Homo-oligomer: A and B are copies of this chain.
């Protein structure tokens, strides 16, 4: 079965909350945020040997194609899918399903965001195999991340009746998907031990998801039909661009998963993190005795500074005096300073940059 198992890496995100390192020319997934390899490289590395690079598809913006092939030389040219523009995860997944069905009508696809951390790749692959087995029974399968705490920034998945053990792992029907909860609700979810974080990792047969798109997102399905018809033709690019002008922006969670009938979850505890903002990134790294974390290759001087994340750039010096619990990201042309507990607001700062005519820094 595994020769029909493909990975679809969604690499079209912009990683706003990791600005100013994450930029439109080189978003989060193309950065070496946590080690020598980029997030994209790590994402593809961890699939091996279950899914080698020739069965990996990367969906991203055309402008990042050269960078992607440079970062992943083993990726065949034809495995890069240029999405004409971001329309949410549902059109992205629909496009990948079209491409896979053209290539292998028996394809099963594991949809993985390109910008997440997983510290237990073997556990991840074991879960993918379990999910792929369930997918053969027409389930839409999601990995459910065992929640480390009552995070309010993620959607949650409530498990339902057991589907038994698959590939050595317990599996469940999904009872429901819950949107990002408030703090009290999140705590209740965690305490119940019935809920998992929705990490956006999905496994299904390409034919299954295409059928569900046809049923639940008929507008998207209608736009995908001419795209499939023109695949491998000289008009492929033109038809896709025209379709993408019209496809409605939809997430796969809202558009399909919350309404589908046969949805399964494979609970995992694989060291997953979405590396969502500078504070969470900092929390993933062991700091010095004062709790400070240093990245980058610039100079630094710290005086009475604790619990602070510092990214520095070559040829520059950052001097921090008396900082407690801060994020300082000093790139060659843009500097971010904020308390760790405001790290989520970097998103608003980036929006303001655009509004203030400072988009050159994005």
Is A144 engaged at the interface, CB distance under 8 Å to the other chain? Answer: no
CB distance from A331 to the nearest CB of B (A): 9
Contact B349 A303 (CB under 8 A): yes
Could you say which residues of chain B place their CB within 8 Å of the CB of A348?
A: 303, 321
CB distance from A220 to the nearest CB of B (A): 36
Given B320, B330, B346, which contacts A321 in the complex, CB threshold below 8 Å? B346
Tell me the nearest residue of chain B to A19, going by C-beta.
Answer: B319
Interface: A322 (CB within 8 A): yes
Give 14 A-B contacts (CB < 8 Å), ordered by A residue.
A303-B345, A303-B352, A304-B342, A304-B345, A315-B333, A317-B353, A318-B337, A319-B336, A319-B353, A320-B337, A321-B342, A321-B346, A322-B341, A323-B337
Contact yes or no, B317 A358, CB < 8 A? yes
Contact B318 A335 (CB under 8 A): yes
Flag whether A262 is at the interface (Cβ < 8 A): no
Q: What residues of B have a CB within 8 angstroms of the CB of A328 in the complex?
A: 337
CB distance from A281 to the nearest CB of B (A): 16
User: Could you give, for residues 267-310 of chain A, a 1 whenever the CB lies within 8 Å of some chain B CB and a 0 otherwise?
Assistant: 00000000000000000000000000000000101011000000
Residues on B with beta carbons closer than 8 Å to the beta carbon of A349: 301, 303, 319, 321
Residues from chain B with Cβ under 8 Å of A299 in the complex = 358, 361
Q: How far is the CA of A330 from the CA of B330 in the complex (A)?
A: 10
Type the 1/0 row for A146-184, where 1 means its CB is closer than 8 Å to any CB of B.
000000000000000000000000000000000000000
CB pair B352–A317 under 8 Å, yes or no, is no
Is B301 a contact partner of A358 (Cβ separation < 8 A)?
A: yes
Given the known A-B contacts A303-B348, A303-B349, A348-B303, are A337 and B319 also in contact in the complex, defined by CB atoms under 8 Å? yes
A37 at the interface (CB under 8 A from B): no
Q: How extensive is the interface on chain A, given as a class?
A: 35 or more
Instruction: Contact check, A337 vs B337: say whether CB atoms are below 8 A apart.
Output: yes
Whether A118 is near chain B, meaning CB under 8 Å from some CB there, is no
Instruction: Assess whether A334 is interfacial by the CB under 8 Å rule.
Output: yes
| Residue A20 lies at the interface, judged by CB distance under 8 Å to chain B | yes
Let me know if A259 is at the binding interface, CB within 8 A. Answer: no
A304 to B341 Cα, complex, angstroms: 13
Query: Do the beta carbons of A335 and B322 come within 8 Å of each other?
Result: no
Q: Give the residues in chain B near A342, CB-CB below 8 Å.
A: 304, 321-322
Contacts of A65 in B (CB 8 A): none
Whether A317 contacts B337 in the complex (CB less than 8 A), given A299-B358, A301-B356, A356-B301, comes out as: no
How far apart sit A320 and B348, CA to CA, in the bound complex (Å)? 12
Check A246 for interface membership: any CB of B closer than 8 A: no
Q: Of residues 125 to 158 in A, which have CB atoms within 8 Å of B's CB atoms?
A: none
A235 on the B face (CB < 8 A): no
Is B352 in contact with A336, judged by CB distance below 8 angstroms? no
Whether A84 sits at the interface, judged by CB under 8 Å, is no
Q: In this assembly, does A339 line the interface, its C-beta being within 8 Å of a C-beta of chain B?
A: yes
* Interface residue A232 (Cβ < 8 Å from any Cβ of B): no
A323 CA / B326 CA spacing, docked (Å): 10
Q: Contact: B334 with A316, CB < 8 Å?
A: yes
How many whole Å from A130's CB to the nearest CB in chain B? Answer: 42
